[in-house]
Amino acid sequence: MITDRDDLYDLAIDVHDCAGSVRRGIGLPRFAGWNFRASEIQAAVARVQLTRLDGLLDKMRANQAYLAERVSQLPGLTLRRANDQRGDAGICLVAFTESAELASEAVAALRLEGVEAMRVYDPEVPDLHVYPFWRPIFEALAEAGRPAPDCPRTLALLERSVHIDVSPLCDEQDLDEIALSFEKVARVILA
């Protein structure tokens, strides 16, 4: 899209990406995004790229398994249980600490080690994957006279999470460095 109108550009970003306004630093979106993204050209490219999917999935699953083997041995971390190994794409590794405070410290320490880590839910960081930030949904529920969801146990669990993405581009050295960072964090913060 090409435009010289800022308001139209901002609207296009919000329609394209429901977290676009958060990424631009202007707050939560005015409405839920619809994620209308694919064009015919993108579909043609995607069709070719789909031939690479099995190899990418195999690589991500192998990388995740490698890290999981190393991280599962560490004190203070419990890996997320996979409900279906074949259905898990291996895109991330999620471990849980004993408390939200420990998870926050572990994430900060991993970042200092160069590992892009996050908590799945942090009340201070808007993330539209987590329901407390679904303002348009809450407004619609209120207008319909329905209560907003309340899932304190879910949020408490997600606050204790340590999440890292697992790239298919990681080689063994990258994975060893990530695992070593987890080992340092477990030894200093979680032990």
Residue 10 and residue 96: Cα distance in Å, rounded? 37
Which residue ranges of the chain lie beneath pLDDT 70?
Answer: 32-37
What pLDDT is stored for residue 140 in this prediction? 83
* 3-25 pLDDT, tens digit each: 899 888 888 887 777 777 777 88
Residue 183 structure tokens: 């080992």
| Residues of the chain by 3-state class (helix, strand, coil), percent to 5 | 55, 5, 40
User: What string of DSSP letters covers 124-146?
Assistant: TS--TTSGGG-HHHHHHHHHTT-
Number of neighbours of residue 182 by Cβ within 10 angstroms: 26
Average model confidence (pLDDT) across the chain: 89
What is the edge-to-edge ordering of all strands in the sheet holding 161-165? 78-79, 92-96, 161-165, 117-118
Structure confidence at residue 153 (pLDDT):
93
